[in-house]
Amino acid sequence: MADLEEAIDVTRQAVKVTPNDHLDRVGLLSNLGVQLGDRFSRTGAMTDLEEAIDMARQAVKVTPNDHLDRAGLLSNLGARLGNRYERTRMTADLEEAISVAREAVKVMPDDYPGRAGYLNNLGVLLGNRYLRTMTMADLEEAINVTQEAIKATPEDHPNRARWLSNLGLRLGDRFSRTGVMTDLEEAIDVTRQAVKVTPNDHLDRAGLLSNLGVQLGDRFSRTGAMTDLAEAIRVTREAIEATPEDHPDRAGRLNNLGLRLTNRYERTGAMADLEEAINATRKAIKATPEDHPDRARLLSNLGVQLGDRFSRTGVMADLEEAINVARETVEATPEDHPDRPSLFNNLGTQLSNRYWRTGKLECLDEAILTGRKAIKATPNDHPARAGLLSNLGVQLGNRFSRTGVMADLEEAINVVREAIEATPDDHLDRAILLNNLGVRLGSRYERTGAMADLEEAIDVTREAIKATPEDHPGRTT
């Protein structure tokens, strides 16, 4: 940091003493903007980012349209606007960032060495817009331009690892949306390549390891392979160890560790993992500014973990805190935000837990209402929809058990069937869905005496057992 601080001071002095019409002024403004952007990336100080954007705008403004350096200046401005969007979620910044990034690519000859960097920047911005709007055209273009950037970059180029990592992120996004395993496999492969060619002491290595951990965690969630989960935890720990305490990315990496430890707790029942997960997520929240757009997601994860601890220990304080943070996340998240369905789902889960503890039917009614909202806000082709349908089915089944209203049981069976149809045969969650269907069909048999329901209930429960790993804690329940 000392070198960066000195560089900023020296460049400021140079800008200050350079006349407005001097040929060197554009380069100095651009350099100062880049340096301030680098300091923002390290410290998260918004004043640095605002000044970096101002410097970049000034540099673009005084540069003729046909100047060779204009593309680089536009790309820098786009990158800084993208940084501000990531911090504030102001869509105007993202739209302008994409516009100037496109212009940078457009004015640069195809064979220009710096073009790969401009393509990569455009891919990052398009990926961010996809995450906000879920428009597949943005994601496809992001993947295409990033692949083009990699293709144009020599094997030994120092930025190649970063481009590979960005491609891995976008492929991971596409897997999350479509469930196509080849995308996830390729994402893991290119991220491993990025880690492999990055020196242990490189500033980017922690981020690359963190990305690899996320992708391995996703594969575990799909296949149940414990080797993937163990590696995900290991590389995420390594990423955190390589991240300074005051680094703005540390919170996200702590959150990722919390998620992976929660996954392991759910598989093994080891309380030490759940306790560490809660501690890591609390640290992540503490390190995240109150106005940061990612704070809601971190709070939601904490709520899930506290709910898990309540389910294990029965401590009501955990459940009440889980419900409070879940409500806070829903209220703090815009109506059109793609995370909103999962936040509703998490709130519904905790309300269901309170119903089971207190017997208050209004808790279950609210859980069902939030579950319906989650499904309504989720595209029909989204892989997460199956899980939301499953949860709604469980809640409706619970209400039937309490009230005896057959309409709830019929709907429960229908939504669980829909969830199963949307779940690949090799998905780890398929066994849970089949078991839930068996329970609901058994309930209908008990009410109506229809042997077809009992026969199907036995068949799907056998199938659920067959699809459950021998060491899975849910196999005996």
Count: domains in the chain: 3
Which amino acid type is present at position 21?
D
Tokens of 121: 């920047």
Compute the distance between CA of residue 429 and CA of residue 221 in angstroms, rounded to an integer.
Answer: 8
Domain that holds residue 227: 173-273
Helices in 179-225 by DSSP H: which ranges? Answer: 181-196, 205-223
For residues 255 and 312, membership in a common domain is answered with no
Supply the pLDDT for residue 462. 94
Half-sphere exposure of 412 (CA within 13 A, CB side): 28
In a domain? residue 306: yes
pLDDT band at 472 (very low <50, low <70, confident <90, very high): low
Residue type (1 letter), 298? L
Burial class, 311, CB count within 10 angstroms (exposed 0-12 / middle 13-18 / buried 19+): middle
Read off the pLDDT of each residue in 291-303 and give the average, rounded to a whole number: 92
CATH number of the CATH domain containing 196:
1.25.40.10
Does residue 121 lie in a domain region? no
Angle formed by the axes of helices 250-268 and 271-286, to 10°?
160
Average pLDDT over residues 95-115: 91
3-state SS, 308-330, equals HHHHHHCCHHHHHHHHHHHHHHH
Residue 339 within any structural domain of the chain? yes
Residues 357 and 428 in one domain: no
CA dihedral 283, 286, 288, 289 (to 10 degrees): 180
Confidence check: pLDDT of 475 > 80: no
Q: Which pLDDT does position 332 carry in this prediction?
A: 86
Domain membership of residue 229 (yes or no) is yes
Please state the separation of Cα 353 from the chain's center in Å. Answer: 25
The residue type found at 356 is: W
Say what the pLDDT of residue 275 is. 99
Predicted local distance difference test score (pLDDT) of residue 210? 98
> Residues 367, 387: one domain?
no
Residues 267 and 347 in one domain: no
Given this model, what pLDDT does residue 337 score?
A: 85
Q: Identify whether 406 is part of a domain.
A: yes
pLDDT of 358 over the 80 cut? yes
Residues 298 and 232 placed together within one structural domain of the fold: no
Is pLDDT above 90 for 471? no
Nearest to 374 by CA among 356, 393, 361: 393
- Hey, how many other C-beta atoms are within 10 angstroms of the C-beta on 158? 13
Give yes or no: residues 475 and 420 share one domain: yes
| pLDDT confidence of residue 113 | 80
CATH of the domain at 343: 1.25.40
Q: What is the percentage of the chain residues whose pLDDT exceeds 90?
A: 78
Quick one: 462 and 394 in the same domain?
yes
**DSSP structural state of residue 476:** G
Whether residue 101 is contained in a domain is answered as no
- Which among 224, 240, 273 is the end of a domain? 273
Q: Do 474 and 384 fall into the same domain? A: yes
- Distance, in Å, from the CA atom of 56 to the CA atom of 73, rounded to the nearest integer, reads 7
d(CA 398, CA 313): 22
Looking from the CA of 91 toward its CB, the CA atoms found within 13 Å total 8
Give the contacts of 37 (CB within 8 A, at least 6 positions apart).
48, 49, 52, 76, 79, 80, 83
**Tokens representing residue 429 in the block:** 């969650």
- In the listed set 331, 353, 371, which residue is the last one of a domain according to the structure? 371
For residues 233 and 304, state if they share a domain. Answer: no
Count Cβ atoms below 10 Å from residue 426 Cβ, excluding itself.
11
| Residue 477, token pair as written in the block | 């329940």
Mean pLDDT value across residues 146-174: 95
**Are 250 and 306 contained in the same domain?**
no
Question: Is residue 473 located within the same domain as residue 392?
Answer: yes
d(CA 91, CA 94): 5
| Domain stops at, among 312, 338, 371 | 371
Could you give the dihedral angle defined by the CA atoms of residues 374, 380, 385 and 386, in that order, rounded to the nearest 10 degrees? 140
Residues in contact with 404: Cβ distance below 8 Å, sequence separation at least 6, in sequence order? none
Is residue 317 situated within a structural domain? Answer: yes
**For 126, phi and psi rounded to 5 degrees?**
-65, -35
Measure the CA–CA gap between 138 and 239, rounded to whole angstroms: 29
Identify whether residues 366 and 386 lie together within a single domain: no
Question: Is 22 part of a structural domain of the chain?
Answer: no
User: Alpha carbon of 175 to those of 217, 232, 384: distances in Å?
Assistant: 13, 17, 11
Cα 39 from Cα 203, distance rounded (Å): 13
